[in-house]
């Protein structure tokens, strides 16, 4: 049995060290404590299935497995211990389980407090070990609380933080300083901060902090190829229709915004610009939400710009798609990949733009503060997205491997573990 436990799980190149830690501990408790019920909880079923496959692959020929069910994601060992895989997607159906071995919670920062409150009682009666592992996220939620419990030696909790200086040599071996510096340059600050420095990020605050260094005076040149972003307004006070235009170098060369105009007047004004530069236009990306779809259709049907129909691209704004736009623009400012015009209203919107973390849904949303608008911001993001997607010169993939360290052999001691 001990030989099976020592099988080389770490040979799996696809699994992060975090998930291999979970796999090893599930096997450790399942093998050494006969008849125990052990659990792995992940945010999604797909994530749990990956750990299930890792374990099955590692011990399939060892004789330790009595039975396995790939549908229910359950492994039964020959000593009648079980390893069960659950996901946060199951929500209320998670109630009523009892853990007698170990409960491993994977990517805990991405599970809601509601889910944690459902599964925490699984460990109460038998005082079972709970391993809570995650890449850090925001300073909110149960993972953040347990992380601090461990730092302060509260509630029988231990925190192991791989970003601690005492693990510096280990981290240098896994990820060199030069590679770390490379990621610092290509990733948004918050992503780099959480995924590579292992630090929690604030749950709200200003989003675009580096834009002022990118302000320049640019104008349209005859040789420019133009990428337009268009955010439609309702025409009322304060709600602008905004047009941002970038050239092939990522330089904003035109910005216009207006309100208090009827839909026809708005389209007239936009058409005038399109006609003037129609030979240079590469992409016209318009927001389609609300009035966006009919207004875009009306604009496209104008006979004089019929040759531009194929240049139009619609954008449906959801929380997820908007987040992608915001993060790309964040990175553009941080890496000096964009230049913007010196416009007071644009600067005000960028400076005020905020991120808000919803602890219940575990989502980050980006918006203008109450009482302000973000129309120019949206137009700028749409034009930058059009520019980036219209100038693809290659595809680059970054493979991120997460690493964790530390162990705990105390069967009755709760563990809060932060790792990557």
Confidence at residue 147, expressed as pLDDT on a 0 to 100 scale: 93
| Digit-coded pLDDT (tens) for 324-373 | 999 999 999 988 999 999 998 898 889 878 877 665 666 778 888 766 78
Confidence at residue 315, expressed as pLDDT on a 0 to 100 scale: 94
Confidence at residue 215, expressed as pLDDT on a 0 to 100 scale: 95
Residue 204: pLDDT band (50, 70, 90) is low
pTM over 0.85: no
| Digit-coded pLDDT (tens) for 8-42 | 333 333 457 788 899 999 999 999 999 999 999 99
Position 398 pLDDT exceeds 50: no
| Digit-coded pLDDT (tens) for 365-397 | 888 876 678 999 999 999 999 999 975 433 333
Asked if residues 59 and 7 have their Cβ atoms less than 8 Å apart, the reply is yes
Confidence at residue 282, expressed as pLDDT on a 0 to 100 scale: 97
Confidence at residue 237, expressed as pLDDT on a 0 to 100 scale: 58
Higher-pLDDT residue of 6 and 111 is: 111
Give mean pLDDT, residues 49-73: 94
Percent of the chain with pLDDT over 70: 85
Confidence at residue 416, expressed as pLDDT on a 0 to 100 scale: 41
Q: Closest Cα to residue 76, out of 56, 58, 96?
A: 56
Confidence at residue 120, expressed as pLDDT on a 0 to 100 scale: 96
Position 185 pLDDT exceeds 60: yes
Position 228 pLDDT exceeds 90: yes
Residue 171: pLDDT band (50, 70, 90) is confident
Confidence at residue 359, expressed as pLDDT on a 0 to 100 scale: 57
| Digit-coded pLDDT (tens) for 236-259 | 656 899 999 999 999 999 999 998
Higher-pLDDT residue of 12 and 227 is: 227
Position 320 pLDDT exceeds 90: no
Name the average pLDDT for the chain: 84
């Amino acid at each position: 049995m001990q030989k099976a436990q020592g099988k080389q799980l770490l040979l799996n190149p696809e699994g992060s060290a975090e998930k291999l830690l979970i796999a090893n501990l599930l096997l450790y408790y399942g093998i050494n404590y006969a008849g125990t019920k052990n659990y792995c909880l992940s945010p999604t079923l797909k994530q749990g299935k990956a750990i299930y496959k890792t374990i099955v692959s590692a011990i399939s020929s060892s004789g330790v497995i009595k039975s396995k069910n790939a549908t229910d994601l359950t492994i039964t060992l020959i000593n009648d211990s079980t390893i069960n895989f659950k996901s946060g997607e199951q929500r209320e159906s998670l109630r009523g389980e009892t853990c007698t071995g170990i409960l491993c919670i994977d990517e805990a920062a991405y599970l809601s407090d509601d889910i944690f409150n459902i599964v925490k009682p699984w460990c109460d009666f038998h005082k079972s070990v709970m391993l809570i592992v995650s890449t850090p996220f925001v300073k909110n939620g149960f993972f953040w609380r347990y992380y601090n419990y461990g730092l302060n030696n509260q509630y029988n909790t231990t925190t192991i933080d791989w970003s601690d200086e005492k693990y510096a040599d280990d981290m240098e071996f896994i990820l060199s300083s030069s590679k770390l510096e490379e990621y610092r340059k290509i990733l948004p600050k918050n992503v780099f901060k959480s995924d590579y420095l292992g630090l929690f990020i604030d749950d709200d605050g200003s989003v675009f902090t580096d834009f002022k260094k990118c302000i320049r005076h640019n104008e349209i040149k005859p040789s420019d190829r133009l990428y337009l972003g268009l955010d439609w307004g309702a025409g009322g006070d304060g709600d602008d229709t905004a047009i941002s235009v970038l050239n092939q170098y990522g330089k904003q060369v035109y910005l216009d915004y207006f309100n208090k105009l009827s839909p026809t007047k708005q389209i007239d004004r936009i058409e005038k610009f399109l006609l003037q530069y129609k030979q240079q236009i590469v992409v016209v990306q318009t927001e389609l939400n609300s009035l966006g779809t009919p207004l875009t259709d009306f604009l496209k049907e104008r006979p004089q710009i019929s040759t531009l129909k194929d240049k139009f691209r619609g954008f449906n704004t959801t929380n997820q798609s908007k987040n992608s736009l915001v993060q790309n623009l964040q990175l553009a400012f941080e890496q000096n990949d964009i230049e913007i015009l010196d416009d007071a209203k644009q600067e005000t919107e960028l400076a005020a733009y905020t991120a808000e973390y919803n602890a219940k849904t575990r989502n980050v949303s980006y918006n203008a503060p109450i009482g302000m608008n973000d129309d120019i911001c949206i137009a700028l993001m749409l034009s930058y997205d059009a520019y980036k997607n219209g100038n693809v010169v290659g595809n680059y993939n970054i493979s991120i491997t997460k690493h964790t360290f530390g162990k705990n052999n105390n069967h009755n001691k709760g563990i809060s573990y932060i790792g990557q």
